[in-house]
Amino acid sequence: MPPIRYAIPPVLLACLLVTGCSSVQLGTPTPSDTQNPAPGAPAGSGRPIAVGEGPHKHYTVQQQPAAGSCHYRFEHGEPIEDPQCTPGAISPAVTQANLKSTICRKGGYTSGVRPSAYVTGKEKRLNAASYGYTGRMADAEYDHLISLQLGGDPNDPRNLWVEPADPGHRKGAGVNNKKDPVETKLHTAVCKGQVPLAAAQQAIVTDWTTALTVLHLS
């Protein structure tokens, strides 16, 4: 039987001949690649959602995307975040296994992990510049894309954005948007065991306007 020969691709051969060629250079995924979405990948594309640092006793103001670098989208007439600026991030403190002691316990969880208004107020102004938001700040919500009641990271800039008021919202009427009831319904479904936590998180980062429909909760 003739000897079996294996062809080595030219790029790989060249890499092997260079001192210091590493597995990362050969394209092996690094831990961060497998944990976080690739830059520019659309939210909900099947990649794992980024994991933030989780709750802290004291939060600091987080750096925001460059002014004007983020752009709103509109789905079903509702403002949607820019997935390149706000892909979402989950808290490592909330898992499917500890729901009863975290987001599903009665009272205390979200208020205990929410950053202070001193921190979020500064971040909101910076993020408004990121998105080019010029409306009334009191009518816009500095929103957790994955809400705290769904295990979203409390202060990761990937999980926070200035959400404009719904179209037709009366100016000066304060924050009132249609995303909040969606978050509450998802939270109820997760705590009742109707939907896995990860599925609810993925649905809302993909498109909160269709999250209930996709999960057959509407």
| Domain enclosing residue 68, as ranges | 53-214
> Domain for residue 135, yes or no?
yes
Q: What's the predicted TM-score (pTM) here?
A: 0.78
Strand, coil or helix: 166: coil
> Domain for residue 127, yes or no?
yes
CA 118 to CA 58: how far, in whole Å? 11
CA 130 to CA 140: how far, in whole Å? 14
> Domain for residue 106, yes or no?
yes
> Domain for residue 179, yes or no?
yes
CA 121 to CA 138: how far, in whole Å? 11
Averaged over 89-100, what is the pLDDT? Answer: 98
Helix ranges, 132-196 (H): 179-191
> Domain for residue 7, yes or no?
no
Averaged over 149-164, what is the pLDDT? Answer: 97
Output the CA–CA distances (angstroms, integers) from residue 202 to 43, 56, 87, 114, 191, in the order listed: 8, 24, 10, 21, 16
CA 157 to CA 107: how far, in whole Å? 25
Q: Which residues contact 189 (CB under 8 A, 6 or more apart)?
A: 195, 200, 215, 217
Kindly state the tokens that stand for 46.
Answer: 């099947």
Site of tokens 């975040």: 81
> Domain for residue 62, yes or no?
yes
Query: In the prediction, which pLDDT does 48 show?
Result: 86
> Domain for residue 15, yes or no?
no
pLDDT of 24 higher than 80: no
| pLDDT tens digit sequence for 190-213 | 999 999 999 999 999 999 999 999
Query: In the prediction, which pLDDT does 218 show?
Result: 80
30 vs 51 pLDDT, higher one: 51
| pLDDT tens digit sequence for 162-172 | 999 877 666 66
pLDDT of 98 higher than 50: yes
**Structural domain total, the chain:** 1
pLDDT of 23 higher than 80: no
Query: In the prediction, which pLDDT does 17 show?
Result: 35
For the ranges 9-13, 14-18, 55-59, 137-141, the maximum mean pLDDT occurs at 55-59
Output the CA–CA distances (angstroms, integers) from residue 69 to 65, 128, 135, 143, in the order listed: 7, 11, 17, 18
Binning the chain into helix, strand and coil, the percentages to the nearest 5 are 35, 10, 55
| pLDDT tens digit sequence for 7-19 | 434 433 333 333 3
Output the CA–CA distances (angstroms, integers) from residue 117 to 113, 120, 121, 126, 142, in the order listed: 12, 5, 5, 14, 10
Strand, coil or helix: 89: strand
CA 10 to CA 86: how far, in whole Å? 39
Strand partners, 161: 143
pLDDT of 186 higher than 50: yes
46: confidence class by pLDDT, cuts 50, 70, 90: low
> Domain for residue 41, yes or no?
no
Query: In the prediction, which pLDDT does 108 show?
Result: 84
Strands (E), 23-147: 50-51, 73-75, 78-80, 89-90, 141-144
pLDDT of 177 higher than 80: yes
Query: In the prediction, which pLDDT does 33 show?
Result: 33
Query: In the prediction, which pLDDT does 77 show?
Result: 86
153 vs 41 pLDDT, higher one: 153
Kindly state the tokens that stand for 10.
Answer: 């030219």
Q: Which residues contact 100 (CB under 8 A, 6 or more apart)?
A: none
